[in-house]
Structure 1
Amino acid sequence: MGKMRFLAYAGISSILAGAVVGIAAVERPNFYSACIAISNSGLSVMVLLNVVVILTILFGRGLQLCLFGQLRALELDHLYEQTWYTLTEAFLTMTMFRDGFNVEFLGYFSLSLFLRVFHWISRDRVDLVFQTATPPSLLEKLRLAFALGLFWVCDFMLLRMCLKQLFNSFGTFIMFTFEFALLHNNIVTSIGKYVLNLAEQKYLSEHEDEDTWESKGMWMYILEIVTDFTRLVIYAAQFVFMLKPFGLPVHIVRDVYISVASFVGRVRDFSRFLHARQQMDQQIADAREGDLVRDNICIVCREDMEIIQGQSRRSVPKRLSCGHVIHHGCLKSWLERSQRCPTCRTPVFGTDPNHTPWNVPRANANNDAQNNANGNAAPARNHNGTEVPVDHSQNQGNGSNASTRTTGTVNDLPTNAIVFERDITLPTGWTALRSRVTPEGVQQIQLNEDTWATVVSNPAQPQRQSSPAFGATPASISTYSTLRSQDQSASDSIQMMFSQLEDRVKSALTTENQHSEGEIRQLRTMFSQLEQQLRTVEAQQVSLQNRLQRIEDRLNHQEQ
């Protein structure tokens, strides 16, 4: 529908332009006088400029197809967002240079907007082409390299030409000089990222046992800091040079503020990143076998974690202060973006009073469980093994709706709490965080944030000890049932996602002619979001199925 409207608009504009030229040719005796008549008519000039805009759009579309092919949905979204902001900035710029507004100014201004659009596409394409599931082909690499080189040459030539004009006449060319300097800085950054991505691909091809290039993060930080500093210098110089002859440059005040904030943030993050990498091996210990019993899935890469003699350093599991375990290499990559645990948001280094560790050492698990079985409250411990005071409040009601108050928060007791028989130790790797006794004399312990257990006395049953491989049968069955229900929920979510996708696609196909271009674009964006959610749910289901299979194997082994 958008293409049809553009074709209709282009056809009407061409007819009007032909009419303007034809009337001038008939009424004037020669070509020169006809051109003078057209240039003196404001309406004729507007009609011809409209045709020039259409030809520019067609040329840009053809250049885009040759250099980049079809744009992705994310690239289109970024393009529309940046275009609206740029047009608003353009109107503010025109108010400052209204005295020098002529055909030459309009030509340079249109050229800068044209190049800016392709710089946006180049930046997004460099970031996206190396993040796909399949590596880019040689043709895609060469085409992208040619596009980056072409735009760099254009920026350099235009910047050089504007500098020559600036020395001859200190006027409106000062704005275009700094504008092309910013474009040159952006394209150099894109070229730097492209080179780093190629270097990473070459490194991974030579080291097949590794999945990432650790030095890339360091070089990427340096490149972004240099880029932000250069952009800040350009904006500051533009602000100073334009302040006296043209007044306060309102259109770049926002850009100056963003550049300062970005540069300061980059330097701070880079300093924290270097400090974190230096402290990581000293302050974060390697995980033990007991740390992987409860959950051996790395939250970053979603791969199984194992402790094997002679394994690569990147595959070594590291135990954070909060108790979560992550691959050594994944932790290094995560520290480039954040200094907090990806699961519970606890600071990786240092302490945070607003967070308490979710896990305690595995060596204390059996002792805490034995204290619970004897009727004693099991104190909570931090990751160093020291006791943490816990307020065990007396609650009214039975064990199914009782609650515990700890550090000012109230946790409701689920109705499907696991039931342990007295004198049965907790499974290996399980942890008793806290305990309490209800008014009815029922002993209860908390295993994690969402799971509580009730300790009951059953003399008719013989004393049973937990298996080191898995643990007590009631807990095993309950864990198995919980994961099975999660797997079913994931399956239901996938079915719901499929239904939503089908409905959206049918709606877009059957009512496309009745929607505006903006609505169609929103439907496509929603389709991409639902597709990404579907992939996430499928990955979660695969992880749950793997855990279910391991639990089934352990249950079968215990029954035998």
Structure 2
Amino acid sequence: MRSLGLPLISFGLTGAVVANAYYQKKQFYPSVVYITKSNSSMAVIYIQALILVILIGKLVKKIFFGQLRAAEFEHLMERSWYAVTETCLAFTVFKDDFSPKFVALFTLLLFLKAFHWLTEDRVDFMERSPMISYIFHIRIIVLLTMLGLLDLYFIVGAYQTTVTKGASVMIVFGFEYAILMTVCINILIKYLLHTIDLNREVFWENKAVFFLYMELVMSFVKVIMYVVFVLIMMRVYTLPLFAFRPMYYAARSFRKALKDVINSRSAIHHLNNSFPDATSEELTEADNVCIICREEMQSASKKLPCNHIFHTSCLRSWFQRHQTCPTCRTSILEPVAPSRDAPQPPPQAPQQPPLPPFAFPFNPLHMPFQPPHPPQQQPQGSAGGQGAQQAPGASTSGTTPGASSGRPGSQPQQPPPPFSGFPGFPMFPGMPMPGMGPSPFLPSMMPFMAYSIPPPIPPPDFTGLTDEQLRAMESNAREGVESRLRCLQNIQLLLDAATLMLQQYSVAAASVNVANTMGTAQSPQPASSTSGEYQQGPDLTTDPQPP
């Protein structure tokens, strides 16, 4: 309803303007002169012309394209934005030639550009569509014929105008329609190639080759035309800023097409000379279905460096566009890595010269221990007096009966160190007992003693591992990292919850303190009276006296 209301309003305003002019002048020619001299009337006429162009465009779109797909509409809006920007820049260059004819020519140019873009997208859709109807072919053929004739007509008109009247803005229009003519030829070649491919019963291997070289030639022609146009504009007018963006895209397209041609030829050379043919045993062991054509592989198959197998014809067609493996996307232009079937032994480390017999090898885990120190005296009767000598005939407290004979010169049997049986606490001569104080002196030289736990073993060399082992190690490491990340996320969640609870506790405690302070300020009572009441109260701990 909204799309219908604007044209109706425009038609109503146009009718009112024409009726007003005819009512005042009573004749056709004076009415036309009156409308052209009135700015408000001309504004209404311009809006009416724009509405008519939009309606004609919608009608042509409905006839030749029907309902536009989402991708086609998105591409149309994106390209139209850049085209309008370039048009505004062109207005700044040709501000002296600004006239209604100039605006009409630019509007018509945008109109034809939009239909060229839609036709290109619709022809590209042929390759992805399983069924193509006869109506589709009729529409495309008629539309390409009309666009080509219009492009040729405007090119000839711009050339004749330039020859007869000299350099003018028609140079820009002639160049733009020449670019559109190359686009139309490109679309026509694509349509013919797609049509031939659809009518063939077998797969057409050379289709990708034709597409590749067609894009290279067309992009090269566009670059040459843009360079010539810029040189002419710089000589006649000034630097054409509006032509820089399309010229850059044309140069980038030509560079990409040239790179694709070089890479495809290199990939085909590798396919013919470097990659081995797949044997029947390899086809039996692996999945013998080619993922490119979805057919079983019986013969004429190639094995890529990544051990994936495909039809030779399918690979040749695939390498025309992509130089990677269709399955794992591994580049086939890189040098082939050496086979892992017979891994080379790792190089041996250089032997170190032997150490002297009195020297200890350096180990970062060695720690100096303190030297022996005299035992501390313990009081009599305590359970910790292990090293005190007893007088003749006296017994040692803290020892079991029969542990000491009490004869002169006999030494009491000391219990073993508390942590000597644990593997994590090796006891060495000179090492202090647990729970004893530090040594009162430090010697000038303290020996390095090693732990009983050996140092960590350096990581092994991975050059001899197979691809399956490396993938297994990678999956295990990935699972470990994911589990650690989940644990860290849970810890972060718990910390956030604890922080929130602590904030709530602090707010609650602050509110309680404020309430207590306000209650104390409202009803103060002396401490002496409270203590007196407590002292004068009845003693509940004693039995009451009888009356």
Interval containing the TM-score (normalised by the shorter chain): 0.5 to 0.7
The verdict on how the C-alpha distance between 1:322 and 1:245 changes in structure 2, with shifts beyond 3 A counting, is: same
Q: Indicate the SS of the match to 1:387.
A: coil
Match of 2:149 in 1: 153
Whichever residue aligns with residue 209 of structure 2, its letter is M
The SS at the match of 1:323 is coil
Higher helix share: 1
Structure 1 position 278, deviation (Å): 3.1
Pick the aligned partner of 1:45 from 29, 42, 45: 42
Q: What is the deviation of 1:58?
A: 1.1
Task: Give the secondary structure class of the aligned counterpart of 1:326.
Answer: strand
- Aligned in 2, Cα 1:79/1:447: closer, same or farther, shift over 3 Å? closer
Q: Distance in 1 between matches of 2:5 and 2:461?
A: 69
Give the aligned residue type for 1:36: V
2:242 to 246, 251, 273: 251
Residue identity opposite 1:224 in structure 2: E
Distance 1:388 1:305, change over 3 A: farther
Pick from 243, 268, 271: which aligns with 1:277?
A: 268
Answer yes or no: is the 8 Å Cα contact 1:300–1:330 preserved in 2: no
Q: 2:466 aligns with which of 404, 413, 433?
A: 433
The equivalent residue for 1:398 is none
Pair 1:434–1:405, CA change in 2 (3 A): farther
Aligned residue in 2 for 1:374: none
1:137 to 133, 139, 145: 133
- Contact 1:273/1:336 (8 A) holds in 2: yes
Q: CA deviation at 1:233?
A: 1.4
CA contact (8 A) 1:305 1:327 kept: no
One-letter amino acid of the structure 2 residue matched with residue 111 of structure 1? L
- CA 1:179–1:291: 2 relative to 1, 3 Å: same
Matched, 1:5 2:5: no
Residue in 1 aligned with 2:222? 231
Match of 1:287 in 2: 278
Instruction: Give the counterpart of 2:92 among 86, 95, 102.
Output: 95
Partner of 1:23: 20
| Distance in 1 (alpha carbons) for counterparts of 2:173 and 2:261 | 33
* Distance 1:13-1:341 versus aligned 2 partners, 3 A rule: same
Structure 2 residue aligned with 1:400: none
- Encode CA deviations 1:172-226: one digit per residue, 9 max, x unaligned: 1010010110011100100011111122223x23xxxx3x211111111121111
Structure 1 pair 107–131 and aligned structure 2 pair: CA distance change class (3 A):
same
Equivalents in 1 of 2:232, 2:312: separation in Å?
50
Q: Which moved more, 1:234-243 or 1:279-288?
A: 279-288
Shift of 1:342: 3.3
Larger strand fraction of residues:
1
Query: Residues of 1 paired with 2:57 and 2:15: CA distance?
Result: 23
- 1:433–1:448 Cα contact (<8 Å) kept: no
| Contact 2:206 2:317 (8 Å CA) reproduced | no
Whether the 8 Å contact between 2:151 and 2:181 is mirrored in structure 1 is yes
> How far apart in 2 are the matches of 1:349 and 1:113?
43
Distance 1:406-1:28 versus aligned 2 partners, 3 A rule: farther
What's 2:306 paired with? 322
TM-score in terms of structure 2 length? 0.62
Q: How does 1:406-421 map to 2 (within 5 A)?
A: none
Matched, 1:345 2:341: no
State the partner residue of 1:191.
188
Shift of 1:446: 5.1
Q: What residue is the counterpart of 2:341 in the other structure? A: 385
Q: Deviations over 1:465-509 (max 9, x none)?
A: xxxxxxxxxxxxxxxxxxxxxxxxxxxxxxxxxxxxxxxxxxxxx
Contact preservation (8 Å) 1:299, 1:343: no
How far, CA to CA, are the matches of 2:23 and 2:148 in structure 1?
A: 46
Aligned equivalent of 1:265, options 249, 252, 256: 256
Q: Note the C-alpha offset of 1:452.
A: 6.9
Determine the C-alpha separation between the residues in 2 that align with 1:139 and 1:241.
Answer: 43
**What is the aligned residue count?**
367
- Give the structure 1 partner of residue 317 of structure 2: 333
Q: Structure 1's 9 and 297: CA in aligned 2 closer, same or farther, altered over 3 A?
A: farther
Larger radius of gyration: 2
Q: How far apart, CA to CA, are the structure 2 residues paired with 1:176 and 1:213?
A: 40
The corresponding residue for 1:556 is none
**Residues 340 and 404 (structure 1), Cα distance of their counterparts in 2 relative to 1, 3 Å cut:** farther
2:125 aligned to which of 118, 125, 128: 128
2:516 matched to which residue of 1? none
Q: What's the RMSD between the two structures over aligned residues?
A: 2.9
* Equivalent-residue separation in structure 2 for 1:157 and 1:273 (angstroms): 39
1:165-180 pair list within 5 angstroms? 165-169=161-165, 170-180=167-177
- 8 Å contact from structure 2 (residues 266, 333) kept in 1: no
Give 1:15's aligned amino acid: G
1:270 to partner: Cα distance? 0.9
Letter in 2 for 1:331: L
Once residues 433 and 186 of structure 1 are traced to their aligned partners in structure 2, the CA distance between those partners, rounded to angstroms, is: 52
In the aligned structure 2, how far is the partner of 1:286 from the partner of 1:449?
31
Counterpart amino acid of residue 45 in structure 1: M
- Is the 1:297–1:305 Cα contact (8 Å) retained in structure 2? yes
What is the DSSP-based 3-state SS (H/G/I as helix, E as strand, rest coil) of the residue aligned with 2:128? coil
Asked whether the 8 Å contact 2:158–2:170 carries over to 1, the reply is yes
Query: Do the aligned partners of 1:130 and 1:136 also contact (CA within 8 Å) in 2?
Result: no
